[in-house]
Chains A and B, each alone.
Chain A
Amino acid sequence: KAGVTQTPRYLIKTRGQQVTLSCSPISGHRSVSWYQQTPGQGLQFLFEYFSETQRNKGNFPGRFSGRQFSNSRSEMNVSTLELGDSALYLCASSLGLGSLTGELFFGEGSRLTVL
C-alpha cells in the first residue's frame, strides 16, 4: 500500500509569489490535514479536509488555503509569500477525521524556501 505522497519535495520561491502543494493520501483514507513545521515551533495545524469539506482550521492568515478533491487528494495554496512562510509543510491522512480516529500517517513533506 503506497504511503502519503507529497509533491513537490523541495521548492524555492520569492516574496510575493504564490505556491501550490499537493498531497495524495493513502488509498481509502478520506481525511487530509496539513501542518507547518518550523524549528522550535513544532507542528502548527493549518487545516483538515474530509470528504471535500474543510472541517477544521488553525490560526493562519487567509493567505493559506486548501481544497480536497473527490479522490481525496488535497492541495494547499499560499499566496503573497513572506519570508516567514519558509518551512516544511507536512500533510497527513487518516481513515476518518484525524482527531476522531487517531493515527495520522504523514508524508515526507514539501520544503518551501522563500527568498
Chain B
Amino acid sequence: GENVEQHPSTLSVQEGDSAVIKCTYSDSASNYFPWYKQELGKRPQLIIDIRSNVGEKKDQRIAVTLNKTAKHFSLHITETQPEDSAVYFCAASNNNDMRFGAGTRLTVKP
C-alpha cells in the first residue's frame, strides 16, 4: 500500500518568514495530493490540493509543488502569520485509498 513520509515533524518560524513542508510517497499510481490543516482542538480541514497532471498550484499565500519523478510534493507558506500555527498533514491517494503523513506542527512566532 501507499506510504507517505512527512518532514519536518516540527517547524518554528518568525512571523513574515516562509515555511516549507515536504512529503514523499511510495506508490507511483498516486495521483491526488491534498494538504490538511488542523488547528489546536479542531478538525482537519483541506487547504489546498494538487493532482498529478499539474506541477504547481497556488492559492494566495500557500502553494504546493509536485515532482512525480522523484515522488515528492511540498507545501509552501509565504509571509507566515500567527494564525498559520497548526498541524499540517499531507496525503496521497491512488484512487483506492488515501494515506496521510504523520503531520508537521508549525509554530509562527510573532
Q: Please give the residue numbers on chain A whose beta carbons come within 8 Å of chain B beta carbons, in ascending order.
A: 4, 33, 35, 40-45, 48, 55-56, 58-59, 90, 97-100, 102-104, 106-109
Does B43 lie within 8 Å of A103, measured CB to CB? no
Are B32 and A102 neighbours in the complex by a CB distance under 8 Å?
yes
CB distance A42 to B100 under 8 Å?
yes
**Which one of B12-20, B60-68, B73-81, B87-95 is at the A interface?**
B87-95
The answer to whether A56 touches B96 (Cβ under 8 A) is yes
Question: In whole angstroms, how far apart are the Cα atoms of A58 and B98 in the complex?
Answer: 10
Chain A, residue nearest B49 (CB): A102
For B43, list chain A residues within 8 Å (CB). 4, 90, 106-109
Residues of B within 8 A of A (CB): 1, 6, 9, 32, 34, 36, 42-46, 49, 89, 91, 93-103
Q: If the complex has contacts A43-B89, A59-B1, are A99 and B44 also in contact, measured as CB distance less than 8 A?
A: no
Whether B95 and A104, one on each chain, are in contact in the complex, defined by CB atoms closer than 8 angstroms, is: no
Most central of B34, B46, B91, B98 by chain A CB within 10 Å: B98
Partner of A43, one of B46, B93, B100: B100
With contact pairs A90-B43, A102-B49, A103-B46 given, residues A45 and B97 touching in the complex (Cβ less than 8 Å): yes
Among A40, A97, A104, point to the contact of B46 (Cβ < 8 A): A104
Q: Are B32 and A99 in contact (CB under 8 A)?
A: yes
